[in-house]
Structure 1
Amino acid sequence: MSSLKVMVIDDSKTIRRTAETLLQREGFEVVTAVDGFEALSKITEANPNIIFIDIMMPRLDGYQTCALIKNSERYKNTPVIMLSSKDGLFDRAKGQIVGANEYLTKPFSKDELVDAIRKHVKS
């Protein structure tokens, strides 16, 4: 499990740093991006095993980013976990429509992140 590469996309520096620190302590390699555009440029180089995406971001939001990833032949099977401070039914449904594998509500815990990785990434 520890050789897995995790991508965290969030416009909040605090969220990126928190997720990065929590996951690195668990032995994961972490790549971060501030928004969907940066993520799309980094994804081919990083080739992550799983991607965590914030929904509310400038330029390219999490739903649009997830849809682009899932429409890519190369990354359509890469698990995408949506991160949001909103916990509404509409938000969860929209995440499923664009292909998200799971939906975590902020603030998230280390256990929630690690459980999502274990659940969606086959070692």
Structure 2
Amino acid sequence: MRLSQSRIGTTAILALFVVASAGCTVVNKIRAKSELNDAAQSYRDGHIEEAEQHAKRALYLDPDNPTAPIFVARIIHQQYKQGVDTPDNIAKAKEAIEAYKQVLQKDPTNEEAFKA
């Protein structure tokens, strides 16, 4: 039984797509790790909003990364100022709560998110 050239071409294209998709996943995981490192450095340097953006990019690039969601939640939580009732501060508190809820959705045993 001989495969037609069009079938061979289609199979080759499909195989390339699968390989390329797997490569993108690996690249995104590496980029996400780099973003988390940048988030940590920005946080240490006191650039909290920049750290938040790096952490959110890491989560976007690798939604299955177990560290990224808690980084996002912590950094947002850090920006909340207890006892300050401005609309921006209240919005930041709500955003932090939602971020911690997302952590708990993925990992109900995450003590840090539960305590926050």
TM-score between both structures, scaled by the size of structure 2: 0.29
**More strand by proportion, 1 or 2?**
1
Compare CA radii of gyration and give the structure with the larger one: 2
TM-score between both structures, scaled by the size of structure 1: 0.28
Which one scores higher on RCO, CA 8 angstroms, separation ≥ 6?
A: 1
**More helix by proportion, 1 or 2?**
2
